[in-house]
Copies of this chain bind each other. A is one copy, B any other.
């Protein structure tokens, strides 16, 4: 293997695939990045078995020659060192050559680097994905849908299925659901897709989705290929493979109420700031408990208290108030997590009773819904 390649393009491709490198891998070869060079271009592969990422650098694009390949070949290079040193090389062009026993030589300006390469034959082969279920979505929408649901997954590994986000597709509507049993987030969107295409129980690990979000640039289309036990995302020249979590996601549709005893519409920013101040105090008590109650003058009061530190009381105007007076307590951190991602000026909150689910929805559209279970408190 022998080639010269532009540093910038190599660096970008390395940064993309490095998201799949785990520092705690038990399979030594997976602490490396596989480099495959053909006359068409360079393919980099990294994997932690849950996620595999492949990035392709063509020898040329519309604007310029990116690489000149003298001799094709393959090698596996130590990931951490490779990722860091390429970024810091002093010249725009890098020469790479693999010699005996996968010893790899890099030269850039007056810097010479020798890397202990490993045999690419030992690198696991990525499972092939049958392309019979393919859909294309807007990358910005996909990132928003991930952001608005992924924070509600469970961090408890005893129920692995809840550490993922459920994906469903039916009649051209794609829906994401995440829950940790104390709260739930759901977000749906209409997408242009063959109406026959559907799936019901695709669950993808939350941490995988966070990594996926990072490699999707703005204003990009993402092709999604759904296979039996894995999903492949195609983002430009990057292929992102993830396995689907085993198990059946619980049916959450029944716990979402559609009638409320009390309905509020509030200014999102004012509510966020008021709860944030109450949270500061509740956090010191480690409970995050904040109370919300309706007042006779039509406002609401948000409060938190600590025996050691004191009390925060917030008076808040409401835009709309229907139904019964209310006194309820909830985890302010959960509420802030929702308010940070809703992206709307006004927010609807529906209450079904002091011990029943709280529903939070943007007023501008019906695509997203968040649920928080209240706290039982003594007063």
A residues contacting B by CB (< 8 A) are: 78, 80-81, 84-85, 88-90, 104, 110-116, 273-274, 276-277, 280-281, 284, 307-316
Contacts and interface: CB of A to CB of B under 8 A. Distances in A.
Contact of A88 (B84, B280, B309): B280
Interface of A, secondary structure class, is mixed
Contact of A116 (B85, B113, B276, B310): B310
B312 A111 contact: yes
Given A280-B85, A284-B81, A113 B273 contact: no
Contacts of A277: 85, 88-89, 111, 113
Contacts of A113: 277, 310-313
Contacts of A315: 110-112
Contacts of A114: 310-313
Contacts of A111: 274, 277, 312-315
A280 B313 contact: no
A273 B316 contact: no
A110 B307 CA distance: 22
B312 A276 contact: no
Nearest to A305: B114
24 contacts: A78-B308, A78-B309, A78-B310, A81-B280, A81-B281, A81-B309, A81-B310, A85-B280, A85-B281, A85-B312, A88-B276, A90-B273, A111-B274, A111-B277, A111-B315, A112-B313, A112-B315, A113-B277, A113-B312, A113-B313, A114-B310, A114-B312, A116-B307, A116-B309
Contacts of A310: 78, 81, 104, 113-116
A85 B309 CA distance: 12
Nearest to A316: B110
Contacts of A311: 113-114
Given A112-B314, A115-B310, 11 more contacts: A78-B308, A81-B281, A85-B277, A90-B273, A110-B314, A110-B315, A111-B274, A111-B312, A111-B313, A112-B315, A116-B308
Contacts of A116: 307-310
Contacts of A84: 280
A89 B314 CA distance: 11
A284 B80 contact: yes
A324 B80 CA distance: 38
Cβ-closest 3 pairs across A and B: A110-B315, A115-B310, A112-B313
Contacts of A88: 273, 276-277, 280
Nearest to A315: B110
A274 B91 CA distance: 12
Contacts of A90: 273
Contacts of A115: 309-310
- Give the most central of A81, A310, A316: most B CB within 10 Å: A310
A281 B82 CA distance: 10
A324 to B, nearest CB: 24
Nearest to A104: B310
A313 B106 CA distance: 10
Nearest to A284: B81
A112 to B, nearest CB: 4
- Give the most central of A89, A110, A313, A315: most B CB within 10 Å: A110
